[in-house]
Structure 1
């Protein structure tokens, strides 16, 4: 993909973000409404987008790449966890927790899937969905442990049930079954699934815009950990993963998908969990906002290098 096409794709997402900023500033999108839109995105729109991406892909090459993506995702998360832990040793206390969480959990749903769809179409979303499975599993186990501490047996059981019943996980499982057995769905059902899934991109960008509109960045302009954390998140970790992957195997769509996903901005869950557990709430919001804004520069540069 040419750089111009990539920039146009990212610029399109940025314009949608501005719509969210406008809606929030004009009080069209309230905090309560934005929460509802987020639930709509995560519980309905995103699972439908994931499911629709599997329905149209039966090529044996895609199935082979899907398996490769599974292994690449495992390797990538191991690298992210180790590199993040080591590079964040100079950062202390709750800020370290926020930055580590931001490194491990990237914005797969809001940003990742729309970008993958723009580059690779439905095939890219298939690979991204496999990567996202690990995101969901780690989020509700390792992610919560970072903020809360260890689970007791009952809490762990409840979280595991939540993981299994997560709409995105269910959508991936259903999609894999459809792909493997080449199940043909009625055209009316197919068009409905695709139409609902298509709102994922615009809706996700509008939500991000609403979040960004309420963050005060000036307070943190002199905090070195913000700049350091962003550099580690958006540049160092993706670069290390890309170099290691090139040493493992030739470049491929499956490999590139995992590299792209690892280079995404911090997940909005960084801010949500920081709010829930009262740990550096504003700091977390700044990290999410800053990585999202700067990813409009770093992601296109990365795409130009790897594609």
Structure 2
């Protein structure tokens, strides 16, 4: 299990490395990264969400999905408290405050989370992860945008965004037991499947413009990564191990809380003109450290 998870994370690094290489040899330029960022946010991610929610309805699955959803809310509340305490104690300045907050709160629950749920729990793990990730799609387009945007954000714009709309539509599809036409489902899956490699290429391109020496010397990045990878899962373990729930239902939010910083950290930083180089460094550092922490976490709780 640990080896399989490590392999999955290693694949992500290979994709990031390829993005880094093709940016260094100028096969892609800054215009590509901006266009690819918009493509991910507005097209491929919403398609992936819709495809994941197209499943047959049963009362048991719905009840367990609701429990997972509520536990997801608990996780994000815990990570938000940790994040705001971190920036206050470390006295992070306004320029990078939003990046650090986003880095700790929002993990890689999609690109890395879905594959690991599949490895650990099979198809049912992916289904429950879709319920869990409803919070991510809601909060990343509301709280996440608020943290990253330097300007005042319109509530209307926050609500009328493709990620949130796709999530709400996916919930309707599941609870009304709507079967999407096979051609539509296949198309959504094909578009959604491009999200992971495209996002990794973008992160690699961002890193090509960043200075690795600043990553190594930036102790705040290390501390933020440890808060994300260790403090969050530890608190979730303490809370959930005293609750009467099935082992799978308890394990999913614990593992999800230990995911490294999501690639959306860098994508949103680029989108809203924040320090995307710092964000990219944070994503790569936390993902590198997760090569150690995630396998250990899985061995402890499974």
Q: What TM-score range do you get, normalising by the shorter chain?
A: 0.7 to 0.9
- 1:250 aligned to which of 245, 254, 259: 245
CA displacement at 1:68 relative to structure 2: 0.7
Q: 1:234 is matched with which residue?
A: 229
CA displacement at 1:230 relative to structure 2: 1.8
Q: 1:112 is matched with which residue?
A: 113
Number of residue pairs aligned between Structure 1 and Structure 2:
300
Give the direction of change, closer, same or farther, for the CA distance of 1:269–1:195 in structure 2 (3 Å limit). closer
Q: 1:71 is matched with which residue?
A: 70
For the pair 1:199 / 2:194, whether they are aligned, the reply is yes
Specify the SS of the correspondent of 2:242: helix
Point out the more displaced range, 207-216 or 112-121.
Answer: 112-121
Q: 1:184 is matched with which residue?
A: 179
Give the direction of change, closer, same or farther, for the CA distance of 1:84–1:266 in structure 2 (3 Å limit). same
TM-score, structure 1 as length reference = 0.82
Q: How does 1:61-210 map to 2 (within 5 A)?
A: 61-94=60-93, 97-120=98-121, 123-146=124-147, 151=152, 155=153, 158=154, 160-210=155-205
CA displacement at 1:231 relative to structure 2: 1.4
CA displacement at 1:162 relative to structure 2: 2.7
d(CA) in 2 for partners of 1:91, 1:162? 32
Specify the SS of the correspondent of 2:104: helix
RMSD: 3.0
Native 8 Å contact 1:53 1:123 kept in 2: no
Structure 1 runs not aligned, ≥5 long: none
Give the direction of change, closer, same or farther, for the CA distance of 1:30–1:129 in structure 2 (3 Å limit). farther
Give the direction of change, closer, same or farther, for the CA distance of 1:43–1:109 in structure 2 (3 Å limit). farther
TM-score, structure 2 as length reference = 0.83
